Amino acid sequence: MTPRSVSLPVLVFDGDCAICSTLARFVERAIRRQESDFVVAPWQEVDLAALGLTEAACIEALQWVARNGQISSAQNAVARTLWAGHLWWRPFAAIIATPGINQLAGVIYRWVAANRHRLPGGTPACSMPPASPVERAL
């Protein structure tokens, strides 16, 4: 899918996951300065094709679609969200984007995403689909 430009950046999360939904509400309350900064929406309620996203990508990780259509996923979506929010969140965005730390943040992000159903507030709906034998081999 080809990403297209959007009027506002969009942070796309898994609306079926209780942890993701809780964190999305936190982003709306504490990180986003005003509604005109960016949109926070569950993937189940957006036109994924128009954003250049797939259902599989949205189930796997948080997605950030910039105004120019550029897509960032996982820890990079977190960094983009922090950068677009209140000024005091930008140092955290810069730290996450730093080489070396970004890779570590990616490992942590993937672990949390894979285990989100086991974390406090997690539900069975938070489980990601099991990896296929081909995916496990990669």
Digit-coded pLDDT (tens) for 40-71: 999 999 999 999 999 999 999 999 999 999 99
Q: Residue 39's pLDDT is what?
A: 95
Digit-coded pLDDT (tens) for 73-117: 999 999 999 999 999 999 999 999 999 999 999 999 999 888 877
Tokens of 74: 């996982």
pTM equals 0.84
Tokens of 29: 């309350």
Strand runs (DSSP E) across the chain, as ranges? Answer: 10-13, 39-42, 63-65, 71-73
Measuring CA to CA, which residue among 25, 41, 39, 34 is closest to residue 86?
34
